A and B are shown apart, each in its own frame.
Chain A
Amino acid sequence: MSPISRGFHGRHRDTTADTDRVPPGQYVTTDFPVLSAGPTPHTPLDNWSFSIKQGRDTLKSWSWPELQALPVEDVTVDISCVTHWTKLDTRWQGVSIDTLLSQVEQDARYVLAFCDGGYTTNLPIADVTSGQAWVAFGYDGQPLPAEHGGPARLLVPHLYFWKSAKWVRGLELLAADEPGFWERYGYHNYGDPWREQRYASD
């Protein structure tokens, strides 16, 4: 049993704020912590594209200007990281995944988001549609900083934030579910913060 370190508080953690909005086991932070599993990629926008793939086929691809020309939404959402912090009222600008998927013909049940640097994460297609997910390239009215996933990241605020893949470059359409990076290392396959689905055993 670890002794309590007298007077140690760590960073300010508010565990009591607005409990209806804060999922179980989370504390509210006003910081925006940077968590990375690898080096920050720096893909020039000239070389950047977002693709929807199926097997070896690219069904559709958008360059940076093409993505910017699509309808852009401004959303304010709460985000929760599996490392216990929740940030309320975060503002993002991006293109809805619904908009992107509407431009391809598909009947996939799952997607695997893939990213610069090799990171992947899997989601049911039902969780990235119906207004639940975006390719976000703006944060708080500014271009998304590289350390937070810029130029663009996936934004899926209803799930733990490891599903909001940084440096996203596309979605692979899958008939059968396939675990992504953290899912393969023991994190929960779905990741609902309201049911505290942090680890595979939860």
Chain B
Amino acid sequence: MDALDGNAIGGLLHEVFGTEMTAAIGTCANCGRVAPVAETLVYLQAPGTVMRCRRCFAVLMVVVRHADMKCIDLLGMAALEPATP
């Protein structure tokens, strides 16, 4: 199954962060690549949603949903900046 991109989890991220995130700029903690969240590699299948760096494939973010809870791990992001308007 082909990976999608950060656009596909725009709704999930908006819910988790309380704001639109697809245009937010992420920095990969592994290789330093700087890119909009929309351009990351996203694997949408449960057990959880995995976002990876398009360049080095390192895990940037993982979201696991359990009942009404969403657990988000951002350790793979060195930085995550909202888009400048």
Contacts and interface: CB of A to CB of B under 8 A. Distances in A.
Complex A–B touching at CB under 8 A: yes
Interface stretch (B5-13, B20-28, B38-46, B77-85): B38-46
Interface stretch (A31-39, A48-56, A89-97): A31-39
Contacts, number: 52
B64 interface: yes
Interface stretch (A20-28, A100-108, A125-133, A181-189): A181-189
A201 interface: yes
A82 interface: yes
A83 interface: yes
A187 B43 contact: no
**Count class of interface residues, chain A:** 20 to 34
A187 B50 contact: no
Instruction: Tell me the dominant secondary structure on chain B's binding face.
Output: strand
Contact of B47 (A39, A82, A201): A82
A64 interface: no
B43 A38 contact: yes
B57 A38 contact: yes
A162 interface: yes
Given A34-B1, A39-B3, A185 B46 contact: no
Contact of A36 (B43, B59, B64): B43
Contacts of B62: 185
B48 A185 contact: yes
The 3 tightest CB contacts between A and B, nearest first, are A35-B45, A83-B46, A37-B50
8 contacts: A35-B46, A39-B3, A39-B41, A39-B52, A117-B57, A187-B47, A187-B48, A199-B66
Interface of A: 33-39, 82-83, 117-118, 147, 162, 182, 184-187, 198-199, 201
